[in-house]
Structure 1
Amino acid sequence: MAFSGSLEDRIALRELLDSYADAVCRHDADAWAATWAEACEWELDGFGTFCGKALVVETWRAAMKGFPDIIFQAWPGEMTIEDDRAVMRSYTAETYPRDGHIHRDLGEYTDICAKIDGRWYFVRRRFRALHRQQVAQ
């Protein structure tokens, strides 16, 4: 089954994913950082793995300078929850202007999440690009 665990935890994980996406759209580094555990890893296909919340957030801040008008959407494809650990797969669509064109990138995250002090956080996010497209001029 693609979704297992309590409904309460599944909703909380969906809210974690939605909070992450909303923070990206608003370029809100503090809100984005609040989705990550202190001991975390962010692996970006082709760019490497960034370990620890400070480096993850620093990397994100630098990257976001290149995407001033991004719209970031995310939706879950799978959640498996066991106690205070969860594995989640999600899909993303990033739409942004660049060089006079509108681009749309599709991707997939494989996540490990942990409930710490009653709240869910990303512990590890592994991203891979699925499709890149220039959609308009």
Structure 2
Amino acid sequence: MRGFNGSVEDRLAIRQRLESYNDAVFRNDADDWAECWAEDAVWEVGPHRAEGRAAIRDLWLTLMAGYSAAGMYLAQGSVAIDGDHADSRAYMLEMLKQTDGVERLVSGRYDDRLRRDADGEWRFVTRSYSVLQVR
């Protein structure tokens, strides 16, 4: 997948979904974060895999328990829209402060599949995260 296609409105709505995800991480808001996912979504992050919005939310809470602060900054790599489905690639810079005080910078890539749900909102159906570098 390379580049961008689809209507400006859909591309903006997808970009806003990615930004809403990051905003919820900054605020440590599990409910707003979980709303970014379709009910039947699948999340793969490192060795972890969760299926369904409730299980994805639970996994996120478990993972976030190790951090006192987390910030995520987005660089959209591509988005390809086909009707009510889209494939997206995004790069993240994460600034993390662990509960033990250790601070880390992590860059990674998200490979996403999104769907426009019945309410008209774009949500993640699959989201896979790959770490690119850690400092």
Aligned-residue Cα RMSD (Å) equals 1.2
Name the structure 2 match of 1:75.
75
Q: Are 1:15 and 2:16 matched, yes or no?
A: yes
Describe how 1:1-137 pairs up with structure 2 within 5 A: 2-45=3-46, 47-98=47-98, 99-117=100-118, 118-133=120-135
Structure 1: gaps (5+ residues): none
Where has structure 1 moved over 2 Å in runs of 4 or more? 97-102
Deviation of 1:65 after TM superposition, in Å, equals 1.1
Inter-partner Cα distance in structure 1 for 2:71 and 2:21 = 12
**Please, what TM-score do these two structures have when normalized by structure 1?**
0.92
62-71 vs 85-94, greater mean Cα deviation:
62-71
Distance in 2, Cα, partners of 1:86 & 1:48: 23
What 5-or-longer segments of structure 2 have no aligned partner?
A: none
Count of paired positions: 132
- Counterpart AA for 1:38: E
1:48 is displaced (CA, Å) by: 2.9
| One-letter code aligned to 1:23 | A
CA distance in 2, matches of 1:41, 1:101: 30
**Percent of aligned pairs sharing the same letter:** 36
Q: Deviations over 1:46-96 (max 9, x none)?
A: x23211111100000111111121111222100000100000000111112
- 2:31 and 2:117 map into 1 onto residues whose CA distance is 18
Answer yes or no: is the 8 Å Cα contact 1:70–1:94 preserved in 2. Answer: yes
**CA contact 1:90–1:109 (8 Å) conserved in 2:** yes
Q: SS state of the match for residue 5, structure 1?
A: coil
